Structure 1
Amino acid sequence: MVSPSSLFLILLFLSIPFSECNLTTDYYKNSCPQLENIIRETVTSKYISVPAAAAGTLRLFFHDCMVGGCDASVLISSNPFTKAERDADINLALPGDAFDVIVRAKTALELSCPGIVSCADILALATRNFVSMAGGPVYTVMLGRKDSLESNISSVEGNIPRANTTMDEIIRMFESKNFTVGEMVALSGAHTIGFSHCKEFAYRLFGYSRSTPTDPSYHPKFSAALKTLCANYKNDSDMAAFNDPMTPSKFDNMYYQNLKRGMGLLESDNGLLRHPRTNHFVDLYAFNQTAFSNDFARAIEKLSLSGIKTGNQGEVRRKCDAFNTFQT
């Protein structure tokens, strides 16, 4: 009998371009048999020393996949001739530890099996392992992606939601990439771990409107605590708050429960609760941890296949932050 997860993968592959069907779970079985061990050791070491790297790497993966597909284009550093995605303002706060763990894994893999494993596959695997270590679901990662041959700062705007993007705009953004509303809400659950800088939501605390300085959607005690935490945010841009203040390092459904308590940190978070096309998913996931875990796993599996490059559409970079051939 076919299992639900196997059936999902079968249906998923029927709906994706042929090039993406070239991916397999054992793509590196013969060419780099130590891949999984190296990724596991690298990620575990980073997670032990910097637990926040889990949320950072998940965010890095999302920012990569949403702009042109999961092709490691976000890892490219700018050069004197071209500004890369990494320098877009929405990507400037991507944490260094997330980039660092990919660099460390790539370095180890180049010593074990040089020129074989793409940075895009490393990022996909590292993200899965971090999610699992934080208590999230274990999901399937297909392998065989190639790294992009381009990365342009101009490609970013309009493809990644901002903290104040309206829910209608976010829905349209995801639908343009063939994601359903439910899948978008499930992926938003990634905010169950990690933090956001005060500057991203300070307007909800100190300048919401002339008559109401603080967004009334916040629970009063929550907004009071945030005001104290972020009081000096204009002078200290590193000030931040946990997206989920209740279980900030645990990948669970508390994020959705917090939304119903008036503890949605970002305006885009709060929008999930208030929009008629998304609020019933919030209710479901707040009540049912299993439903959230299963739906998140399916949604991120789908995301991981978005816009991938195979064959001569890409390359296997020697260094994750630079193309193999210098581009002007």
Structure 2
Amino acid sequence: MSSSKKLITCLSIILVVVLSCTQSVHSQLQVGFYMNSCTFAEFIVKDEVRKAFIQDEGVAAGLVRLHFHDCFVRTGGEGYYVPAGRRDGRTSLASEASTNLPPPTLDVDQLTQSFANKGFTQEEMVTLSGAHTIGRSHCTSFSNRLNNFNGTRSQDPSLDPMYAARLKEQCPQGSTDPNLVVPMNPSSPAVTDVGYYIDILANRGLFTSDQTLMRNPITANQVNQNARNPMLWRLKFAAAMLKMGQLGVLTGNAGEIRTNCRVINS
């Protein structure tokens, strides 16, 4: 069973536990939402996530991705508390991910507008981009920067040559293997730190949307600040993730609590 399927199964079990304990659903998200109806719900989530992470460090990146796709967990890593109480929607379309999540090819202005459409400031965009400190990427998401960049038959000049050479070894030109992946932050791919920003300063941002942050003096300054102040970035990141958790909330009688998170309740 793949790590993603194991994680989904784990979360499905957790949701069943929460459902069986919940007697009523309130209309406002809050830390400790299940304290009265299911005292150990959040502890169960945290413990299961911890055990899943021990088995597969890639789970951390998967959970961040899930959060961007509208999911709640009380995450590890930075140790912040996420208000619980979100209900599942009855509609789930893969197409909505591609139309709402910013692709890795956007420039800084496009990124700013994409996040602004969701109510985030430019600084919050730079802060949330730091989520690329963990996880992996398919070669197809950045191969345009390695070969025939902008039709010039060369690599992106903003990409560090030594880093580009390593990426070319990991992602050979002309390969059709859809499973080829590389870490987004090679120095610490499973650790939530400011290595992402340090890489950008060294022209080792993996995506166009990463390195483009240095093309605007304001966002470039924020990259510098985050690289120099890990604790400040952690605080900003937690705040931005909490804000994201408030988007499109279904509470009360809206939506549902699924007994199997793969499918809507019948």
Aligned to 1:14: none
CA deviation profile, 1:208-264 (whole Å, cap 9, x unmatched): 034351011111111111111111662211111111111222111111011010100
> Does 210-219 or 249-258 show the bigger shift?
210-219
Q: Residue 243 in 1 paired to residue 184 in 2?
A: yes
Q: Distance in 1 between matches of 2:145 and 2:235?
A: 33
5+ long unaligned stretches in structure 2? 1-25
SS at match of 2:149: coil
Aligned to 1:311: 252
CA deviation profile, 1:176-195 (whole Å, cap 9, x unmatched): 11111111111110111111
Aligned to 2:118: 177
Q: Over aligned residues, Cα RMSD in angstroms?
A: 1.8
Q: Residue 50 in 1 paired to residue 50 in 2?
A: no
> How many correspondences in the alignment?
241
2:165 to 208, 220, 224: 224
Q: Residue 27 in 1 paired to residue 33 in 2?
A: yes
Q: Distance in 1 between matches of 2:54 and 2:97?
A: 32
Q: Residue 201 in 1 paired to residue 142 in 2?
A: yes
SS at match of 1:209: helix
CA contact (8 A) 2:32 2:84 kept: yes
CA shift for structure 1 position 151: 1.9
Q: Residue 276 in 1 paired to residue 198 in 2?
A: no
Q: Distance in 2 between matches of 1:319 and 1:158?
A: 26
- Compared CA separation, residues 209 and 144, structure 1 to 2 (3 A): closer
Aligned to 1:213: 154
1:164 to 72, 88, 105: 105
CA contact (8 A) 2:187 2:195 kept: yes
> Does 228-237 or 49-58 show the bigger shift?
228-237
Aligned to 2:16: none
CA shift for structure 1 position 154: 4.3
Aligned to 2:128: 187
Q: Distance in 2 between matches of 1:282 and 1:269?
A: 10
Matched residue type, 1:274: R
CA shift for structure 1 position 40: 2.4
- Compared CA separation, residues 174 and 36, structure 1 to 2 (3 A): same
- Compared CA separation, residues 154 and 224, structure 1 to 2 (3 A): closer
- TM-score using structure 1 length: 0.70
5+ long unaligned stretches in structure 1? 1-19, 65-69, 71-119
CA contact (8 A) 1:233 1:239 kept: no
* Identity score, percent: 35
Aligned to 2:240: 299
Q: Distance in 2 between matches of 1:152 and 1:248?
A: 29
CA contact (8 A) 2:112 2:122 kept: yes
CA deviation profile, 1:8-46 (whole Å, cap 9, x unmatched): xxxxxxxxxxxx971221211121112123212211221
Matched residue type, 1:54: A
- TM-score using structure 2 length: 0.85
- Compared CA separation, residues 210 and 141, structure 1 to 2 (3 A): closer
Aligned to 2:195: 254
CA contact (8 A) 1:272 1:279 kept: yes
